[in-house]
Chains A and B, each alone.
Chain A
Amino acid sequence: MRCGFCLPACPTFRESGVEPESPRGRIALMKAVVDGLMEPDGMFRDQMNHCLGCRACEPVCPADVKYGQLIEKARDAIEDHPNHSLPVKGMRKLFFKGIFPHRNRLKVLGGAMKFYQKSGLRRVARETGMMKLFPRHLQQMESILPDAGVHGVVEKLGTVYPAKGTPIARVALFRGCIMDVMFAETNCNSVKLLSEAGFEVVIPPEQVCCGALHAHSGEMELARDLARTNVKVFKEMNVDYIVSNAGGCGALLIEYDHLLHEDAVWKEQATWFASRVLDISKLLLEYGRLPSFAESSVSVREPIVVTYQDSCHLRNVMRSGAAPRQLIRQVGNVIFEEMKEADRCCGSAGIYNVMQPEMAGQILEHKMENVNATGARYLLTSNPGCLLQMKLGLEKHSNTDKMEVQHVVDFLYERLI
């Protein structure tokens, strides 16, 4: 099918307006490679990497073309042609093999970052202009990174957290790797919110990275290894739901059945796993005893305007875009202002903004126009990548005093009555 309905949904097509930068174009290129009409040359690789993987093309495709699976396959195939330029190779190796699969290393990195941030080294680095040695987009990234921590959610809260009141169900928290190092507080708040809503929460300490960044970049075998470990440790926990608070992770977790569908040994357990995955907003809203939320000092303050940036994967893959909005609307004294094109990718897309700074930057510019137009005090998201990207956006527009970016969970937790 080549109807082209996916074209207007695609952020890269929108920025460039050319067919190769569209889902229909990319599929045609993949097919041309498969048909032997074209070599998977540098240009082809660049084009595949230019795709954000936001999958906005999927819900609008009436023919139900599974674009996400196609692009993963294409990138996997590219990985087999090892022609990356050296710096790209180095960066990828660092990210995929060196850091993400290894929680301990992440922690060390977290520690190092914390040291860097806390010790004044950051200040020295910034003041001496050391950061200028790095490419501009990395400098900008550095400036918005939150304070990293060595202590993750397990260190802070333990591995089992009881439910308030009669337990409704037993849920396992997927803590994520970036989430747990940079946003450990959000993880803790997630646990406490779940407990408030009547869930007993377990956090299997042996869980590993979801593998999303690997899968989306064509490192399929690594992704599958990680998936198998996760399936195993969560299965042992015997839980009703597996809850994620990062859209990017959740979207891969929910597709573990697909990821492992060719694996005779793990297929069935992967299906068990995938069928239990839910985003935290949806779980709270649809299955929990929803607590009340209110703006802290209601009486004096003006109503606060809040807007929400969709996490592409939460919306397009987990199809849970409505739940966070409904939750936000539950908070007293909040005016929810829908932003124009909230459903459009912010350009973060995993490590896309590091690898493809130009396109990501353009997309972010458009995004910030829409963000600013809402006049919101709070900009909420459901994914660490989007959160950082939005911070970057605010920083660039030096809007940090007028607006604050937060994870939905933190926003809600702070307003628990």
Chain B
Amino acid sequence: MLDSALAAQLRAIVGDAHFREDKEARITHSYDGTPMLQAIPDAVIYPKSTEQVSAIMKVLSAYKVPLISRGSGSNLCGGTVPVQGGVVMVMHRMNRLLELDTDNLVARVQPGIITADFINHIESLGLFYPPDPSSMRISTIGGNIAECSGGLRGLKYGTTKDYVIGLEAVLANGEIIRTGGKLMKDVAGYDLTKLLVGSEGTLAIITEATLKLIPPPKSKMTMLAMFRDLYGAARTVSAIIESRIIPATLEFMDNPTIRVVDDFAKLGLPLDMEAILLIEQDGDPETVARDIEMIRRICEREQADSIQVAADREEAERLLTARRSAFTALARLRPTTILEDATVPRSKIADMVRRIKEIAQKYNVTIATFGHAGDGNLHPTATTDARDAEEIHRVEQAFEEIFAAALELGGTITGEHGVGVVKAPFLEWKIGASGVEVMKGIKKAFDPDNILNPGKMFAKETKKRVIIHHG
């Protein structure tokens, strides 16, 4: 429970309707997209403006009460679960497009705008904002920035960090800072913009963002290549990149994923394939046609069983939508679905897929794998049952080993979902003890009392690296 004087001050800032301490509000902000995590906050607040956010932070920092900023709660790392209680701040009301500057090709938005709404609007004006996390129909731009989300177009166009060029943010003490701007070049001091992108709500609350837009590609082609041999598919990914083609999208689904996706989206995919690659190229029509032809040849060389080019945009969109729903469709199999996010250099996709299979077998757990193969970002996904403690333990062991394998192959513990609570114990594996110390120093500089999203990113204890048995 919050101190009543504190509650009264918060209420005064946003008004009665937008500050809630009742059970209904608290329970419905105790979880996010992450399975098996829940913690009930003391209150929920819905600010309408930067000034309100600033006023709220001044009050909260005086009382040293934690603040968890929240977009749509679609993250998968426990990023918005209020593990130490406190106030959840929902950004949905701050959802306006503030400015569209077509001379400079930039947009200024509030953080609560829904990603897909923003993208649709921008595209209707003949412009292009490439970051497209599979959750874009629900996620917010603020959440995307805080997690540095990537998506199906990341391979060619980069991820959120490549499009955020300026921010307005409120610090833990309530002060407002502005970083970057409508500038394509800016080297005045440390790059605080990039630092805040991916900071998972632990450094500041983003209240406004300036986003870079680009002209849309002139044409686009989508193809589907199916493989009976898993490694043939993985080798195709490496071969495409080696031959200096960067497709706009290069997605991978293994057999268990194909089955559930087809069951959900009714696409009539062949269920006996070991892997499917979904490949998209965009750009000038001639380049697109040439690239798609070269990719087709590579697929043939790697013994693709069949290769289809989508007849029209509608068909292509259906395929992309199906791929976007892979994760949730997998959830039909067993009561609990745990999706992970291990990333390796893209030349190592085949090795990584093989390792995941071996590890799953070793621990006798079911792990389906799909992901953004083109940028090495795989999503090994365990279908399991949270009520079976013993099985969950095996799943956890398997994942530890998968992360270790990813690092061993020169990869990382998360490619796009962030650290949050879930990956915190593994952070040190990736960046080392001194890396963690530097990061903690940064955190202290921004938030000396540790009230912004506490308990995230830095774990009390780091997991021991598992020893990997080969053979």
Q: Are B329 and A63 within 8 A (Cβ)?
A: yes
What are the residues of chain B within 8 A of A1 when measuring CB–CB?
35, 328, 331, 337
B-facing mask of A119-138, CB < 8 A → 1, else 0?
Answer: 00000000000000000000
A-facing mask of B135-172, CB < 8 A → 1, else 0?
Answer: 10110000000000000000000000000000000000
**A5 contacts chain B at the CB level, 8 A cutoff:** yes
What are the residues of chain B within 8 A of A24 when measuring CB–CB?
28
Q: Are A29 and B72 within 8 A (Cβ)?
A: no
Nearest CB on A from B339, distance (A):
10
Q: Are A4 and B72 within 8 A (Cβ)?
A: yes
Q: Considering the complex, which residues of chain A in the window 59-74 have a beta carbon less than 8 Å from any beta carbon of chain B?
A: 61-64
26 A-B pairs with C-beta separation under 8 A:
A1-B328, A1-B331, A2-B33, A3-B135, A3-B327, A3-B328, A4-B74, A4-B135, A4-B138, A19-B29, A19-B73, A19-B90, A20-B24, A20-B28, A22-B28, A25-B28, A29-B28, A37-B23, A37-B27, A39-B23, A61-B328, A62-B325, A62-B328, A62-B332, A63-B328, A63-B331
Nearest CB on B from A321, distance (A):
14
Measured between alpha carbons, how far is A41 from B24 in the docked complex, in Å? 10
Q: How many A-B residue pairs have CB under 8 A?
A: 87
Among A20, A37, A44, which residue has the most Cβ atoms of chain B within 10 A? Answer: A20
Nearest CB on B from A53, distance (A):
19
Q: Are A28 and B93 within 8 A (Cβ)?
A: no
**B22 contacts chain A at the CB level, 8 A cutoff:** yes
Measured between alpha carbons, how far is A28 from B40 in the docked complex, in Å? 12
What are the residues of chain A within 8 A of B28 when measuring CB–CB?
18-20, 22, 24-25, 28-29
**B32 contacts chain A at the CB level, 8 A cutoff:** yes
**A169 contacts chain B at the CB level, 8 A cutoff:** no
**Residue from A2, A43, A64 in contact with B24 in the complex, judged by beta carbons closer than 8 Å:** A43
Q: Are A17 and B93 within 8 A (Cβ)?
A: yes
Measured between alpha carbons, how far is A43 from B264 in the docked complex, in Å? 35
Nearest CB on A from B90, distance (A):
8
**B456 contacts chain A at the CB level, 8 A cutoff:** no
Seed contacts A2-B35, A22-B28; 6 additional CB < 8 Å A-B pairs: A3-B74, A3-B328, A19-B29, A19-B90, A37-B40, A62-B332
Residues of A at the B interface (CB closer than 8 Å) are 1-5, 7-8, 17-20, 22, 24-25, 28-29, 32, 37-39, 41, 43-44, 47, 61-64
From B74, which residue of chain A is reached at the shortest CB distance? Answer: A4
Q: Considering the complex, which residues of chain B in the window 19-63 have a beta carbon less than 8 Å from any beta carbon of chain A?
A: 22-25, 27-35, 40, 46
Measured between alpha carbons, how far is A32 from B31 in the docked complex, in Å? 12
Q: Are B137 and A5 within 8 A (Cβ)?
A: yes
- SS of A interface (majority): loop
**Residue from B27, B33, B34 in contact with A32 in the complex, judged by beta carbons closer than 8 Å:** B27
Measured between alpha carbons, how far is A302 from B90 in the docked complex, in Å? 52
B interface bracket (residues with beta carbon within 8 Å of A): 20 to 34
Q: Are B22 and A3 within 8 A (Cβ)?
A: no
Nearest CB on B from A316, distance (A):
15
Measured between alpha carbons, how far is A43 from B32 in the docked complex, in Å? 22
Q: Are A2 and B25 within 8 A (Cβ)?
A: no
Measured between alpha carbons, how far is A376 from B411 in the docked complex, in Å? 58
Measured between alpha carbons, how far is A68 from B271 in the docked complex, in Å? 30
What are the residues of chain B within 8 A of A47 when measuring CB–CB?
24
Q: Are A20 and B25 within 8 A (Cβ)?
A: yes
**B379 contacts chain A at the CB level, 8 A cutoff:** no
Q: Are B25 and A63 within 8 A (Cβ)?
A: no
Q: Are A5 and B328 within 8 A (Cβ)?
A: yes
What are the residues of chain B within 8 A of A41 when measuring CB–CB?
23
Known: A1-B35, A4-B135. A38 touches B27 (CB 8 A): yes
Q: Are A2 and B329 within 8 A (Cβ)?
A: no
Among A19, A43, A64, which residue has the most Cβ atoms of chain B within 10 A? Answer: A19
Measured between alpha carbons, how far is A37 from B31 in the docked complex, in Å? 14
Nearest CB on A from B26, distance (A):
9
Shortest Cβ-Cβ A-B pairs, 8 listed = A62-B328, A63-B331, A25-B28, A19-B28, A62-B329, A62-B325, A20-B28, A1-B331
**Residue from B72, B114, B137, B332 in contact with A64 in the complex, judged by beta carbons closer than 8 Å:** B332
What are the residues of chain B within 8 A of A17 when measuring CB–CB?
92-93
What are the residues of chain A within 8 A of B327 when measuring CB–CB?
3, 62
Measured between alpha carbons, how far is A25 from B30 in the docked complex, in Å? 10
Q: Are B138 and A7 within 8 A (Cβ)?
A: yes
From A63, which residue of chain B is reached at the shortest CB distance? Answer: B331
Nearest CB on B from A105, distance (A):
38
Measured between alpha carbons, how far is A39 from B331 in the docked complex, in Å? 29
Q: Considering the complex, which residues of chain B in the window 305-362 have a beta carbon less than 8 Å from any beta carbon of chain A?
A: 325, 327-329, 331-332, 337
Known: A1-B35, A38-B27. A7 touches B329 (CB 8 A): no
